[in-house]
A and B are shown apart, each in its own frame.
Chain A
Amino acid sequence: MFKKRLSKKADVEIQINWIFILIVGGIILIFFIGLITKQKTVSTTKLNINIRESLDTIFTSSQVASGTANLINTPELEVDFDCDNYYVGEFDSGINKPLGKTRIIFVPDRLEGKQLITWSLEWNMPYKIVDFLYIIPKEMRYVFIFNTDDEKSFAEEIASLMPKDVKPEVISVNEISNLEYTNNYKTRLVSFVNQPLSAQLNPSFEKKDLSYVSIVPDSNSKESGKVVFAVYSKNPANNAYDFSYARNTQDASTFPYIDYNPEFVTEKRYPTLLGAIITDSIDIYECMLKKALKRHSYITSIYNGRVDKIILATAEPDHPLKQRNCVAGMYQVTDPNLLSGRQELNPITSLSTSIEKCKNNLAYCDPYGDVQALVSVNKKAQDNSCPLVY
């Protein structure tokens, strides 16, 4: 009887042991699964922070060194850009950081892949304003389209300026229908053709990220002109894919490009035009152009004050400048075609007014004449061994 009771008690104890093992085992399992999940989140966040810091270093170094292009190997990237911020990782839960008001970065609205090309160029108007930074994903495809020989040479000139790793294709307008989708996550068509492009592309481009920009240089100079942004999307009217303006109207989709290639630069450069080519987002282009003009405005106000001081010094009776025959008139624009026939004692005042106009309305932005006026004054000052404007 006693033996039977003992055996029953041992059975119960074994069962309780098993329940105990299950509960404790479960707790340990949940604990370690939780730890692994937490570690995974931490390492993803750490990687995103590392990417953000690397991008930040690239942005800062671009402010101090221009004209350099680098191919950077990165971990598998997913970075989204807008006017003010960039987002690493998931758009909602990822790491975001402000770009700031002073960084001018021309970049597609999304970077993907494992290789980035970073490139920077000086923007001179006519003096140095800022270094533009361009970030180009290696996975992005650029196709330049021309029709006439002039357009071909301009397209080839721009293609040759781009970093060698970008490798833009230069094709005739008649070859567009032969173009096929090549598995690039973004394709950008850049048209140098002086008429709106309306072409049925290969069906492989349907539902793919394809953007388009049309370049219309000014008649007197290729250094300034207009860029028209368009997208390739389904037309609801006929259900077929076609090009349409990036914004509602042609005017709203058109922005200027404002470049000046200084004489000392042997190779012509088109920093804002290249910006319009490299970014596929009309919003990013508009935003960066406004930031650049704002920077111009700050620097111009400093240069303006400096020239005022020089002009004031020329008026002093025994000032060394007078002995060097540097008089106030030295800084006046003498070419009647420049400055629209106006006479300004300080040539920067006129450029400053033009830039303020540009800041208020990009559609009426044309500071090229004032830039040329300033170049002529600087040349005159140099020829007469007087203090230079810039």
Chain B
Amino acid sequence: MKMMENVAVMIIFFMLLGLGFIFYGKIGGHGAKQDIEKYVQLQAVKLAKVVAALPEVRCSEENVPVQDCFDLLRVEEAASKIKDTTNERYYFEILGYSRVAIEEKYPGNGSIIVYDNQPDINPTSDLEEIKFSYIPIYIPITLFNATINQYSFGVLEVGTYDK
């Protein structure tokens, strides 16, 4: 009888311990989700900074960088070079799954997609629906056209594709 009592106490003890672990796990999981969201936002801001500092596209005068200015001729060249399949892999290491576009707002109107790399999603896969969110950041910039020596206003769009 006493032994049965002991066994019952042990069962209740382990049940309480199990419940404790489930509760701890749930709280931990919630914290991890928040961490992931924070990480994704941080990545987008980091990328915007990296793009703005790329010598491939930024303006310079005697090698001195001009703040928030993009050289239109360089941007055009970079866009065509990056699209080349041989260079794609190299720039993927810098820009990852993201989109970088430059839009001229005034006086002209035009848009150049410098880089756009979306993750491959297998459309036949029905095991799990995978959705990638696009979180763009818009930065006002100036565009410099060296051949006509003219500046124009534009917007830099930088966004990451995150799961």
Contact = CB atoms under 8 A, between A and B. Distances in A.
A16 interface: yes
A298 B56 CA distance: 8
A60 B50 contact: yes
Contact of A305 (B81, B90, B146): B81
Nearest to B42: A57
Contact of A127 (B6, B60, B73, B148): B60
Interface residues of B, number: 33
Interface in A311-341: 313, 319-321, 324
A299 B56 contact: yes
Interface in B79-115: 80-81, 87, 90, 93-94
B50 A127 contact: no
A69 interface: no
Interface string A352-390: 000000000000000000000000001000100001101
Contacts of A387: 146-147, 149
A235 to B, nearest CB: 43
Contacts of B65: 128
Contact of A301 (B50, B61, B71, B81): B81
Contact of B81 (A16, A130, A298): A298
B3 interface: yes
A320 B148 contact: yes
A102 interface: yes
Interface string B55-70: 1100011111100000
Contact of A102 (B46, B61, B81, B94): B94
Contacts of A303: 74, 77
B163 interface: no
A302 B77 contact: yes
B40 interface: no
A57 to B, nearest CB: 8
Contacts of B90: 101-102, 294, 298
Given A64-B52, A321-B147, A102 B93 contact: yes
Contacts of B146: 306, 310, 387-388
A310 B149 contact: no
B55 A306 contact: no
Interface of A: 13, 16-17, 20, 24, 60, 63-64, 100-102, 124, 126-130, 262, 264, 294, 298-299, 301-303, 305-306, 309-310, 313, 319-321, 324, 378, 382, 387-388, 390
20 contacts: A16-B3, A20-B6, A24-B10, A63-B53, A64-B52, A101-B90, A126-B63, A130-B55, A262-B62, A298-B81, A298-B90, A299-B55, A302-B77, A302-B78, A305-B81, A306-B77, A310-B73, A320-B147, A387-B147, A387-B149
